[in-house]
Amino acid sequence: MPDDSDDLEDALRRAMSGDSAGFVVLYRELQPRLFRYARALVGQDADDVTGEAWLQIARDLPTFFGDLDGFRGWAASITRHRALDLIKSRTRRPADPRGLQVVPDLADLTAGGDTAEAAIAALSTAQAVEIIASLPRDQAEAVLLRAVVGLSAEAAGTVLGKRAGAVRVAAHRGLKTLARRFDRSPSAPEDSP
């Protein structure tokens, strides 16, 4: 998977013209970030949300115009809209968990590489997203879009319908709150609320 933004820009251009290999490169680069963002918004339904988002992305990609940062923002915006749709539908039709059977996906039962390392990394990521999600919603989304998805303040502002400055302020406040939470120790004085 390319790390270089020029390679990703090239993959975007190829995907926009229908090249499936270019689309795969974009998916592999962005899916983990979108999943973490969706996980903070909708919890366990993040797979469904990102799956629906990628269906829309694949369908509408030929009509997308912009650069890599614009694509990331566009994909995050689609993911956010799918998450908000799910949240709205939950309030209209609360789920009834009775009779629900969980069937594991066979592809998830085997893993390549070091399973222990993968489990620790996944746990750490899940914990980090959960901690970020405990912030006020505007701060949590700003931090997630900026730090996890990797968007510029302008692109994150487009996703959230806010000015770039407001996104910077919300992200800064969220990160300061997180830093205060982590800096507190039994010997350190606590800030007053």
Q: How far apart are CA 180 and CA 189, in angstroms?
A: 11
The beta strand positions in 15-125, using DSSP E, are none
- Tokens, residue 176: 């300061």
Section 160-168 average pLDDT: 94
At residue 85, the pLDDT reads 93
pLDDT over threshold 80, residue 143: yes
Q: How far apart are CA 168 and CA 181, in angstroms?
A: 20
Q: Indicate the pLDDT class of residue 89, thresholds 50, 70 and 90.
A: confident
| Among 169, 162, 164, residue whose Cα is nearest residue 152 | 164
At residue 129, the pLDDT reads 78
| Among 192, 148, 177, residue whose Cα is nearest residue 38 | 148
Section 139-146 average pLDDT: 90
pLDDT over threshold 60, residue 1: no
- Tokens, residue 148: 């996890």
Residue with tokens 């030929």: 62
At residue 2, the pLDDT reads 42
The percentage of residues in the chain with a pLDDT greater than 70, rounded to a whole number, is 76
At residue 91, the pLDDT reads 80
| CATH number for the segment(s) 5-93+115-183 | 1.10.1740.10
Segment 50-86, tens digit of pLDDT = 999 999 999 999 999 999 999 999 999 999 999 999 9
- Angle separating helix axes 68-92 and 5-16, nearest 10 degrees: 70
DSSP 29: H
- 138 Cβ contact partners less than 8 Å away, ≥ 6 residues apart: 160, 170
At residue 179, the pLDDT reads 83
Q: How far apart are CA 135 and CA 174, in angstroms?
A: 7
Least confident of 5-9, 12-16, 53-57, 69-73: 5-9
Least confident of 73-77, 93-97, 102-106, 188-192: 102-106
52-60: which pairs have CB atoms within 8 A and are 24 or more residues apart? 52/82, 53/78, 53/79, 53/82, 54/27, 56/82, 58/23
pLDDT over threshold 50, residue 115: no
Q: How far apart are CA 157 and CA 167, in angstroms?
A: 6
